[in-house]
Every structure is written in structure tokens, then in C-alpha cells.
Amino acid sequence: MKSLTAAAISAVLLLALAPIPAPAQQSSQQQSGSQQSSGQQQSGSQQQSGQDDAAPEAGGPTGDNGSIALPKKKESAEPAPAPEEPKVKNPPGLQNFSLHVDVPVVTVDVGVLLEKTHQFVSNLKQQNFRVYEDGKEQQITNFQQVKAPITAVLLVEFASTSYYFVYDMRNAAYTFAEQLQPDDYIAVMTYDMHTNILSDFTQDKRVVYNALNSLTIPTWRETNIFDALYMTLDRLSRIEGRKYVILIGSGRDTFSKITLDKTLAKIKATPNVTIFTMSTGGWVRAMTEGRGGFGGQLRDMDYLQADNEMQTFARMTGGMHFAPRFTGELPDDFAAINESIRNQYVLTYTPSNTKQDGTYRKLRVELVDNEGHPLRMQDEKHKPLKYDIIARDGYKAKEQVE
């Protein structure tokens, strides 16, 4: 029994230690399959990475996870040959050079008027002028005489006194309007018992003509010339520069609130204003002169006083007075006015101070004779004439940033 038991135990041990063939084969197959599948995945990833790494022909990526490929640079063609430099034949002894100059130029408008009559002094030459900037004499490079634009008020009498006075006023006003230049600024005002502004300052001739065309039927007989002139001067005092008043009327005053003395004081206190006067009704005066009777004498005295007042307005301001008797005289009269108020001398020079620092430079203009001495003028009777030089007193230099 003991030997049988020992033999059974050894048999059981041998069976336990013996290998099992079927499961071992299955495990080896699974292992080899996993190795094969991993090999396929590895080869597939290598193929995919190989495709991504290869740069495409047109340039640009082909896969989502691949690197971006730069486009291929096309071979550049040979550059075109540069054009030949044009051949310029200079005169003998002259070499090629380039020059760029930025030099400021100053232009000064100068008016020379007689102190007593305010008439323009013509026929002056370039050598008669001296220009000083900050006390230093400048070299004049250009000189000419031009007709400058004007700023004027056309003040006309429009009252129902007589048809001949209205007729003369309209002819004179239209003649003045015909001689206006495109750069002129003109305002139109009328007066009877009241002073009316028909058009403000304008450069449009059509506005001036429309204002004159509206004067058809007068309303009042009064001619308050003192009030009208006082109001006109008061408005012009607010405008800078030189101004002119073209006063066309009979010169008679009826019921003005302003007296003649106050009007004359206003004229003296208003700077830079020149008054030119033109009396209307010359044909009527010519027909009534010398008639006897007390009424005729009073009428003649009235006309003489009116003309005296018109002459005084013009003389005090350096203007001129006209009393035409016929319509044909008007063009010559207004031509004389234009010659007096439009003429100017224009001087141009290059300043010796070339700094563009924006500072203010003071100007001074003098007149000299051919020998360099102060210019002296005389009238036909060899009496000395005083004159005024009208020019700006300075200018502002340019700055570098401008």
C-alpha cells in the first residue's frame, strides 16, 4: 500500500509538471499577431510621415499634421539692361551741376499821394525807392506800377425833388459801376429822409446793377445828406484798410439831425477814408443861372452852398469834386477818380535776413532823387509839395514748419 501510494503521488506530480500544448499555441499566435499589427501601424505611420515630409510640387501642406512647406522659388529671369543715360552736350567750358534754392520773396505795395490833394504821384522810377527791413536797406529786384482794387461805398441821393437830379444820379452811378474791376468791393446806399443799404459789400457787378435798377420811384423829398454821410463813415470806421466814398447828389440838406459841424468833425476823426463827390442837376443849374427875382437868387445861393459843402468833403479827405453839366462828361470824371485811387507801385525784394523763424520784420519805404538825397517835389509855380508814402509797416516771416 505504501509503494502504491508513492507511485500514485509521483504520477500526479508528473502530470502537473507536463506542458499543455493548445493554450501555449494560442498565446503565441496572439503575441505574434500583436507584433504584426504593431509593425503594420509602425510602417503606416512611417509611410504617412514620409508623405508629409516630402515637399509638394505646387508648394503647401498635403496632410493635416504635416509641416507647412514653403513654396518653391521660381528661377528669376535675367534683369533687363539699364537704359542708357541721355547724352547732353553742354556748351564748351560748362560742367554739369544741380542747384536747389528756397529763398523767400517779399512784395510791398506802395502808394505815393500828395498831402494836400491826395492825388497819385506817377512817373516814379525804381531808383527813386528805398526799402529798409529792420533798418537794413534791401535790394529791389522787381518794380512795377499797377492798379489796385478798391473798397468803396456808392452813396447816392434818391429823392423826389426833380427828375433831372434822379436822371443825373442814375447816369453817374451806372458809369461808376461800369468801371468796376473784378477784385473791387462795393456797397450801395441811398438817402432821402432815411439812409438805406441796398447791397452790402460785394464783388459781383450784377448785385450792384440790381440795386441800382431798384431805384425807380422815390418816396420822400427830403435830402438828409449829413445824416447819411455820418452813418456811412461810422460803418466804414470798423473796416480795416483804405476806404473810399463815392457821394453822388445835389449836396443840399433839409432835415438832418446831424449838423454840418458834427459831420466835418466825423470826417476828421475817421482815418483812411477818401471822399469823392459829384454834384447832380448841372443842366438845371445852367438853365436857371442868372435869372432875376428873389426866388432865383435864393435858389442860386442854395446851389452854391451845396457845391461848397461837396467840395469841402472831398478836399478834407484828399478826394476830388466834380459838377458835370452834361452826361458826356461822366466817363472822363470817373476815369480821373480811378486814376487817383487805383494806382500803386509794387516793389519786390529778397530779404537779406534769410532765417525762417516766424519773427515780425519792420518795413520802411523812402523816396530819393537820382543823387540819393530825399526826393523833393514842386508844383508848376516851383512851390514845394508834401507827399505821403502809404505802405505796410512790416510782415511776418515764414517758419520752417510752414
Question: Tell me, what's the pLDDT at 89?
Answer: 67
Lowest mean pLDDT among 99-103, 189-193, 335-339, 362-366: 99-103
Question: Tell me, what's the pLDDT at 128?
Answer: 95
Q: What is the pLDDT of residues 221-249, one digit of tens each?
A: 888 999 999 999 999 988 887 889 999 98
Question: Tell me, what's the pLDDT at 300?
Answer: 59
DSSP code of residue 126? G
- The mean per-residue pLDDT over the stretch 187-215 comes to 91
Q: In whole angstroms, give the CA distance from residue 67 to residue 71.
A: 13
The answer on pLDDT for 315 being more than 80 is yes
Computed over every residue of the chain, the mean pLDDT equals 77
> Is the overall model pTM greater than 0.85, yes or no?
no
The answer on pLDDT for 277 being more than 90 is yes
Lowest mean pLDDT among 16-30, 162-176, 230-244, 348-362: 16-30
Q: What is the pLDDT of residues 109-144, one digit of tens each?
A: 888 888 877 778 888 999 999 999 999 999 999 999
Contact between 121 and 377 under an 8 Å Cβ cutoff? The reply is: yes
- CB count in 10 Å sphere of residue 245: 24
Q: What is the pLDDT of residues 261-272, one digit of tens each?
A: 999 989 888 878
Sequence-ordered strand ranges (E) for 250-329: 273-279, 321-322
- Does 352 or 341 have the greater pLDDT score? 352
Question: Tell me, what's the pLDDT at 295?
Answer: 46
The domain limits of the chain are 106-139+350-396, 151-343
Question: Tell me, what's the pLDDT at 289?
Answer: 55
Residue 284 has φ and ψ, to the nearest 5°, of -65, -40
| 5 — pLDDT class (breaks 50, 70, 90) | low
| 402 — pLDDT class (breaks 50, 70, 90) | very low
- Does 281 or 347 have the greater pLDDT score? 347
Question: Tell me, what's the pLDDT at 292?
Answer: 47
Max mean pLDDT range (202-216, 269-283, 318-332): 202-216
Residue 108: Cβ-neighbour burial (10 angstroms; 0-12, 13-18, 19+): buried
Contact between 150 and 179 under an 8 Å Cβ cutoff? The reply is: no
Max mean pLDDT range (143-152, 208-217, 226-235): 226-235
Question: Tell me, what's the pLDDT at 87?
Answer: 67
Question: Tell me, what's the pLDDT at 6?
Answer: 55
Q: What is the pLDDT of residues 378-397, one digit of tens each?
A: 888 889 999 988 888 888 88
Question: Tell me, what's the pLDDT at 377?
Answer: 92
Homologous superfamily of 151-343:
von Willebrand factor, type A domain (3.40.50.410)
Q: DSSP string covering 347-384, please?
A: EEE--S----B--EEEEEEEEB-TTSSBP-EE-TTS-E
Question: Tell me, what's the pLDDT at 61?
Answer: 52
Question: Tell me, what's the pLDDT at 254?
Answer: 87
Q: What is the pLDDT of residues 60-105, one digit of tens each?
A: 455 545 555 555 555 555 666 767 766 666 666 655 555 454 667 8
- CB count in 10 Å sphere of residue 20: 7
Q: Which amino acid is at 188?
A: V
Question: Tell me, what's the pLDDT at 365?
Answer: 94
Q: In whole angstroms, give the CA distance from residue 129 to residue 345.
A: 10
Question: Tell me, what's the pLDDT at 325?
Answer: 82
Percent share of the chain, pLDDT over 70: 69
Contact between 152 and 245 under an 8 Å Cβ cutoff? The reply is: yes
Lowest mean pLDDT among 291-300, 336-345, 346-355: 291-300
Question: Tell me, what's the pLDDT at 286?
Answer: 59
Q: In whole angstroms, give the CA distance from residue 177 to residue 211.
A: 11
The answer on pLDDT for 288 being more than 50 is yes
